[in-house]
Amino acid sequence: MEKKRVYTFGNGAAEGRADMKNLLGGKGANLAEMNLIGVPVPPGFTITTEVCTEYNELGKDYVVSVLKDEVEKAIEEIERLTGTKFGDKDNPCLVSVRSGARVSMPGMMDTVLNLGLNDESVEGIAKKTGNARFAWDSYRRFIQMYGDVVLGLKPQTKEDIDPFEEIMDEVKQAKGIHNDTELSTEDLKELVKRFKLAVKERTGNDFPENPWDQLWGAVCAVFDSWMNERAIFYRKMNNIPEEWGTAVNVQAMVYGNMGNTSGTGVAFTRDAATGEDIFNGEYLINAQGEDVVAGVRTPQQITLEGSRRWAKQQGISEEERAAKYPSLEESMPECAKELIEVQQKLEDYFKDMQDLEFTIQDGKLWLLQTRSGKRTGGAMVKIAMDMLRQGYIDEKTALKRCDPEKLDELLHPVFDKKALSAAKPVTRGIPASPGAATGQIVFHADEAEEWASNGKKVILCRIETSPEDLRGMATAQGILTARGGMTSHAAVVARGMGKCCVSAANNMVIDYKARTLTINGKEMKEGDWISIDGTTGYVYEGKIQTQDAELNDDFSALMELADKYARMEVRTNADTPRDARTARNFGAKGIGLCRTEHMFFEDDKILAMREMILAKDEQGRRKALEKLLPLQKTDFKGIFRTMDGLPVTIRLLDPPLHEFVPHDEKGQMEMAKVMGISYKDIHDRVEDLIEANPMLGLRGCRLGNLYPEITEMQARAIIEAALELKKEGVEAIPEIMVPLTGIVHEFKAQKEIIESTIKKVFSEQNDSVEYKIGTMIEIPRAALTAHRIAEEADFFSFGTNDLTQMTFGYSRDDVAKFLPMYIDKGFLKHDPFAVLDQKGVGRLMRMAIQEGRSVKPTLKCGLCGEHGGEPSSVKFCHTIGLNYVSCSPFRVPIARLAAAQAAIEG
Ligand code: PEP
Ligand code: MG
């Protein structure tokens, strides 16, 4: 049998289902399901995502030829259900053509509405509806959209001008009109004529009058839009594979712009910004969907309660609100009632917060889309925990619903309370995406990118954003817009990115040419500092200091739940008591890596450290090490005290010594004075330390083996610290870690030094503590000979930064020169220093664990490279049987959730 490529739906029946998202895309699958559960949906059909792949591989002619029969039949079905005829001049069937990938990619791909209109059928629609203005307005919108999307007239650069916009402006200017709604039927006819001329001028061809030509053109344009620049960028940012492709949904048109008993809107079953369990959304009377998204007119709220809340935020009186911006509950109570019932039905059915699109045509409600709504990190946690308590979902589902990376948003800064109390807001807008941001004003997305790449913090200020602004939005600290609402582009995209955004700032006027923004008469220029609060909607002039977020009960409850299911523990990489405290507060179960070298850079220590390195002989080194010993001990005590009762893995000195010594004349002179030797001696020693490739040079345990007295000093400092704390009642659990082992003998030699030092300290103090001695596995040879090393080591900790470096042969410091090219060419899917390379580096790890445990079944294995806080890497660590991962303090909650998800997914 021929492969099925088209799935129809309508009037309570459907060939697809909600669980067919891979084939039908999210939109198509849910349109089918809505039919099946009795929600009113205009009839239509979905062309599968597989056809998109065929289109990209085999081309347009092939795809049109294999689709023809099925599409013609599906159109007949729409005709039957709507009582219209595709291409008929008196009673035409008009359709929309929209994209729909597996996951939503808001605004990234193309849409064509009102397809099927031509010079004849426009008259038919005018007669049928008795509304000539409506018919001609739909026709001019169609030509404009089709011209932009299918015929390629859309501007490609900032300098290009959209010919349709230009004509529109000319006509409006000539008539002295500001609003599109003021255009008369005659104006619209004139626009149609001029639009068509523009098409002929630009493309050399007449605008297609045949609806079938129109349909195939639009279907192919939607497939083409899967490969447009912004869709590719969005996919990269969100890790969406290119192979997925988009489906195409063709659906009978319904109109929200047929007069004052029609309208269109977008709604959420719960609050997408805060997670609060309240139905909310926006609509416009006598408008089409794109009018809501474009943010040109001020949208109104659906519920009365929401409307009053909105008016309060905007500083609008109740009288003005009721007269100018009534809620849907007030303006169309019957439809509002039905919509409220439908939203409840959809949430009950899909058991998740839904994002709905609806249109009311002449008093009849139609749902055009339902999908799981995008939400902020805070809303994600609240909705998951609320739905768990409300009995919608079970514990495992609640955990799976939360995206570990999005927890990051909860840890986002808020304004410093004291600094904020001194600041006076200059205006307030809609709190579109939470968090606080402070930065310099820029007005264009490309400039935001440029400034940010120069290390500047910027706030992207726009009248309204569009998908072209995506890169600039991604690099800005926050986004501020003059127009729009909760569902406009800036708001939806910023929430998706977890970026702070205030939209529709009251009385804010932006002048792109003058590069100024004016709020209530106060002018601010490009480069001036501004601060925005996406949680309250307030905008402040100047810079306001930010502070870390405070975590709420839902967050703690989610974390507890995560620990209930996770099998792997999460530790932290911390070198100071402050970091250790932060990580402990985030639930770290110990320190997996304390890099001791970071402790030597402070003022009092760096001189003694330099003295140790620059010393001519062992005696000189020992003298300097004696000075370092008490300082190190104090550092270790601080960390042990903070981690009281939890294990602390302390790594012996790792980096090349030349990193610590002064390379300038002034610094070298100072050291000569301190040490009482000549400048030349110092200078020669510094030269001597320089290596061609220090990353592969004298570092790690090579240092401790060349200068055993360093290892001795560090082992003594660790154990003396632990013993002193024991007397105070603090339980220090030291795990001493040898870095950069490649040969078992290197480790054995270090272990002997450590053990003999510990023995000495125990007998000096007549006391003892429990300790472990283990090693990093970060050199491929160590992984390959893990069975030998495991005989000697108490634990392994995979240093995946170095292991990646040495497995790939990419220098950690120089990889940026070619990595972007490798990712562009598809040689690598991700930066392997950020996302663990499971096939290569991961294979070495798996092997090392198996071999290590074959000789020591209880061998404890962890990971302490940067991958320890990256969800997909954490999940991999679970599958290969690691006992723990260790990551930076702020990644601890992310790793805890990822570890739980890994355990649930099995
Ligand atoms: C590693 O190599 O993964 C590691 C944790 O050590 P460092 O980054 O300090 O080399
Ligand atoms: Mg390392």
Q: Taking all residues of the chain, what is their mean pLDDT, rounded to a whole number? A: 92
Pairing assessment for the beta strands 425-428 and 430-433 based on DSSP bridges: unpaired
Strand segments, DSSP code E, in 712-856 are 733-738, 772-777, 795-798
DSSP 8-state class, residue 92: B
Q: Which CATH class is domain 263-375?
A: alpha beta
pLDDT over 70 (residue 450): yes
Q: Is the CB of 347 under 6 A from ligand 1?
A: no
> Of the CATH numbers 1.20.80.30, 1.10.4160.10, 3.40.470.10, 3.40.50.410, which one belongs to the domain with range 76-252?
1.20.80.30
Residue of 596, 651, 776 with the most ligand 1 atoms within 8 Å of its CB, for mutation? 776
Binning pLDDT at 50, 70 and 90, where does residue 292 land? Answer: low
- Given a contact cutoff of 8 angstroms between Cβ atoms, the answer to whether 649 and 593 are in contact is yes
For residue 603, the model assigns a pLDDT of 63
Residue of 800, 864, 867, 884 with the most ligand 1 atoms within 8 Å of its CB, for mutation? 864
For residue 296, the model assigns a pLDDT of 67
Catalytic residue among 335, 864, 877, 887: 864
List Cβ neighbours of 885 (8 Å cut-off, separation of 6 or more).
568, 569, 570, 571, 592, 862, 863, 864, 867, 868, 869, 873, 874, 877, 895, 899
Domain ranges of the chain: 76-252, 263-375, 412-547, 566-656+691-905
* pLDDT tens-place string over residues 40-80: 999 999 999 999 999 999 999 999 999 999 999 999 999 99
Integer Cα distance of 767 and 763 in angstroms: 7
Q: Is the CB of 464 under 6 A from ligand 1?
A: no
CA dihedral defined by 697, 702, 708, 710, rounded to 10 degrees? 60
CB under 8 A, 24+ apart: contacts of 330-333:
330/304, 331/285, 331/300, 332/261, 332/263, 332/360, 332/363
- The CA R_g of the chain, rounded to the nearest whole Å, is 33
Q: Is the CB of 778 under 6 A from ligand 1?
A: yes
For residue 906, the model assigns a pLDDT of 80
Fold of 566-656+691-905: TIM Barrel (3.20.20)
Instruction: Kindly indicate whether the domain formed by 412-547 is annotated with CATH number 3.50.30.10.
Output: yes
Q: Is the CB of 655 under 6 A from ligand 1?
A: no
143: number of CA atoms within 13 Å, CB side? 30
Highest averaged pLDDT of the listed ranges 368-377, 381-390, 654-663 = 381-390
Q: Which of 150-164, 310-324, 708-722 has the lowest mean pLDDT?
A: 150-164
Considering only the C-alpha atoms of the chain, give the largest distance between any 2 of them, rounded to a whole number of Å: 104
Catalytic residue among 412, 489, 658, 867: 489
Percent of the chain scored above 70 by pLDDT? 98
For residue 602, the model assigns a pLDDT of 66
Hey, which residues does 300 pair with through a beta bridge? 283
pLDDT over 90 (residue 390): yes
Q: Which of 149-163, 485-499, 874-888 has the lowest mean pLDDT?
A: 485-499
- Using the atom order of ligand 1, give the atom closest to the CA of residue 798: 3
For residue 1, the model assigns a pLDDT of 60
Binning pLDDT at 50, 70 and 90, where does residue 106 land? Answer: confident
For residue 258, the model assigns a pLDDT of 85
pLDDT over 90 (residue 694): no
- Given a contact cutoff of 8 angstroms between Cβ atoms, the answer to whether 624 and 608 are in contact is yes
For residue 229, the model assigns a pLDDT of 85
Q: Mean pLDDT over residues 213-242, rounded?
A: 90
Query: Are 76-252 and 263-375 in the same CATH fold?
Result: no
For residue 293, the model assigns a pLDDT of 64
* pLDDT tens-place string over residues 470-512: 889 989 999 999 987 666 678 777 876 768 899 889 889 999 9
For residue 245, the model assigns a pLDDT of 94
Q: Is 616 exposed, middle or buried (0-12, 13-18, 19+ CB in 10 A)?
A: exposed
- Given a contact cutoff of 8 angstroms between Cβ atoms, the answer to whether 69 and 194 are in contact is no
Binning pLDDT at 50, 70 and 90, where does residue 890 land? Answer: confident
Phi and psi of 709, rounded to 5°? -65, -25
- This prediction has a pTM of 0.82
Binning pLDDT at 50, 70 and 90, where does residue 279 land? Answer: very high
Helix (H, G, I), strand (E, B) or coil at 655: coil
For residue 822, the model assigns a pLDDT of 92
For residue 382, the model assigns a pLDDT of 97
If you take atom 6 of ligand 1, which residue's CA is the nearest one? 799
For residue 234, the model assigns a pLDDT of 87
Q: Which of 123-127, 500-504, 743-747 has the lowest mean pLDDT?
A: 500-504
- Based on the residue annotation, tell me whether 830 is a catalytic residue of this protein: no
Q: Is the CB of 308 under 6 A from ligand 1?
A: no
For residue 496, the model assigns a pLDDT of 62
Integer Cα distance of 53 and 37 in angstroms: 31
For residue 160, the model assigns a pLDDT of 76
* pLDDT tens-place string over residues 164-178: 989 998 998 998 888
Residues constituting the chain: 906
Q: Mean pLDDT over residues 131-137, rounded?
A: 93
